[in-house]
Amino acid sequence: MKYLPLDPQIFIKNRERFKKELKPNSIAIFVSNDEIQSNGDALYPFVQNSDLYWLTGIEQEDSMLILFPDNTESKYKEVLVLVRPNELKEKWDGKRLRAKEAEQISGIKTIVWSDVLNGLLQPWVHLADNIYLDSNENDRKGGFFQTREYRFIQEMMQHYPLHYYERAAKIMTRLRAVKTSEEVKVIQEAINITEKTFRRLLGFIKPGVMEYEIEAEIVHSFLSNRATGQAYGIIIASGDRARTLHYISNNQSCKNGELVLMDFGAAYGGYCADLTRTVPVNGKFSKRQKEVYNACLHLHDYAKSILKPGISVINYTDKVGDEATKQFIKIGLLTKSDVANEDPENKAYRKYLYHGISHHLGIDVHDLGTRVLPIQAGMVFTVEPGIYIEEEQMGIRIENNVWITKTGNKDLMKNIPITVEEIENLMK
């Protein structure tokens, strides 16, 4: 790993939170993600199962976690399963974790090699009444893909058909949405690296620079500051391309007089940052660009002011939409007649702001969490309103990450330049 060792208390506390949710005499089993083949004999870079990482901090493939709080043998109440280090394989693929190293990362004292697991797992399962198995229940996932999780579910149900099975994901969705202070510290480190990178860009961007050159500066800065890498595909969209929300071609020239929308975030210690800033390529906003930018910043600040415990994401989005309507009338995008005649199911402001305002953030950039239940203290959200004007070939989005507290929220990106004046001064 490139990042500095994390405090194992992160994962110890996460496991304790999860175990409290289990029914009596239950065993819970989490498996790692697959290593996925790309072409020929090549593999895609391995990414750990997010739930397994949240509970252990282990990023190595072929890993497993077994939690059995009511196990009669105390040393087997928490078991981390790893592939046994193989000298020949390590000559090709690099070093694998030793038991002591895995204990230092996860805080789990009992480490079992996967080649002896079967003889242990069967008696444990026979003692348990309920089996909790994990699956991907992120509402945003695109479609069904039979990962190792789902194959493992089928195997367990075939071998142990008379047990009661429970969904670990139902618990994980609730728990992972609410971050501990230790988790927020890691997110803040990812944000700090992202801030350094953005400040670097403000001195680099100028007319004629290619979008991919800006992307290269971001990747260089991330890795130079111990980031694991990028939290998601970097978006560098100049001019009219900024209206494409997930534009990742990044292959055009940034022209004088245009704005460039940059959406990027560092990944650090398994957690994500997610920043968007829109800046003038030549370092100076035009009068109209400034007017639209300040309207977007107003929406950003308004959204932060109402994102508090008790409101749901749906109600929050509706309120921001009402404020967007007022702002869009103010800057000439909508008329009062447009609003009076709007379709209640597709409000007029949606022509210029056609995405959600916030999403949960954590181990996944679109992290687990509810949209319909009240927001709770401890959750971390993005706040990212945008204004996209086809007629003016302009797209502006402003995004910060906030931590919800009992009294409101804390802007984790408060030190990152955001106003017109701050951006222009740093781009001189």
In a domain, 307, yes or no: yes
In a domain, 98, yes or no: yes
Tokens of 292: 């639209």
Nearest C-alpha neighbor of 10 from the set 86, 98, 108: 108
222/305 same-domain check: yes
pLDDT score recorded for residue 239: 98
pLDDT score recorded for residue 93: 86
260/289 same-domain check: yes
Count Cβ neighbours within 10 Å for each residue of 241-267 and write b for 16 or more, e otherwise.
bbbeeebeebebebeeebbbbbbbbbb
Q: CATH number, domain at 112? A: 3.40.350.10
Domain endpoint, select from 143, 176, 209: 176
100/66 same-domain check: yes
pLDDT score recorded for residue 140: 75
Give the structural domain span for 356: 181-427
The half-sphere exposure of 18 on its side-chain side, counting CA atoms within 13 A, is: 34
In a domain, 231, yes or no: yes
Q: How confident is the model at residue 88 (pLDDT cuts 50, 70, 90)?
A: confident
pTM equals 0.96
94/167 same-domain check: yes
Q: What CA–CA distance (Å, rounded) separates 124 from 329?
A: 65
Greater pLDDT, 198 or 145: 198
Q: What is the pLDDT of residues 315-352, one digit of tens each?
A: 999 999 999 999 999 999 999 999 999 999 999 999 99
Q: What CA–CA distance (Å, rounded) separates 424 from 133?
A: 52
Domain endpoint, select from 118, 151, 176: 176
Q: What is the pLDDT of residues 96-128, one digit of tens each?
A: 999 999 999 999 999 999 999 999 999 999 999
Evaluated on CA atoms 279, 284, 286, 290, the torsion sign reads positive
Q: What CA–CA distance (Å, rounded) separates 134 from 140?
A: 17
| % of the chain at pLDDT higher than 70 | 99
The half-sphere exposure of 396 on its side-chain side, counting CA atoms within 13 A, is: 24
388/275 same-domain check: yes
Q: How confident is the model at residue 89 (pLDDT cuts 50, 70, 90)?
A: confident
pLDDT score recorded for residue 145: 73
In a domain, 4, yes or no: no
Q: Is the pLDDT assigned to residue 287 strictly greater than 80? A: yes
In a domain, 43, yes or no: yes
Cα separation values, 41 from 38, 77, 281, Å: 8, 39, 42
∠ Cα 32 38 43 (to 5°): 50
Q: Residue for token digits 């304790």?
A: 16
Q: What is the pLDDT of residues 249-279, one digit of tens each?
A: 999 999 999 999 999 999 999 999 999 999 9
Cα separation values, 338 from 333, 346, 385, 395, Å: 10, 12, 21, 21
The half-sphere exposure of 162 on its side-chain side, counting CA atoms within 13 A, is: 2
Strands (E) located in 145-265: 164-167, 229-230, 235-238, 259-264
In a domain, 3, yes or no: no
Are 420 and 427 contacting, i.e. CB atoms less than 8 angstroms apart? Answer: no
71/215 same-domain check: no
∠ Cα 414 416 422 (to 5°): 110
220/148 same-domain check: no
Three-state secondary-structure class, residue 323:
helix
Q: What CA–CA distance (Å, rounded) separates 118 from 159?
A: 12
Beta bridge partners of 78: 67
264/344 same-domain check: yes
Nearest C-alpha neighbor of 51 from the set 300, 368, 343: 368
162/196 same-domain check: no
In a domain, 1, yes or no: no
Domains in the chain: how many in total? 2
284/325 same-domain check: yes
Nearest C-alpha neighbor of 262 from the set 285, 232, 295, 304: 232
In a domain, 2, yes or no: no
324/421 same-domain check: yes
Strands (E) located in 281-384: 380-383
**All residues at 6 or more sequence positions from 233 whose CB lies less than 8 Å from its CB, including other chains:** 246, 248
| Distance from chain centroid for Cα 20 | 25
Tokens of 331: 């800057």
Q: What is the pLDDT of residues 13-33, one digit of tens each?
A: 999 999 999 999 999 999 999
Domain endpoint, select from 154, 176, 198: 176
Query: Residue 144: in which H helix or E strand, if any?
Result: none
pLDDT score recorded for residue 138: 81
Average pLDDT over residues 406-426: 96
Kindly state the DSSP code that residue 255 receives in the 8-state scheme: P
191/123 same-domain check: no
Q: What CA–CA distance (Å, rounded) separates 374 from 101?
A: 40
Q: How confident is the model at residue 42 (pLDDT cuts 50, 70, 90)?
A: very high
Relative to beta strand 130-133, strand 26-31 is parallel
Q: CATH number, domain at 404? A: 3.90.230.10
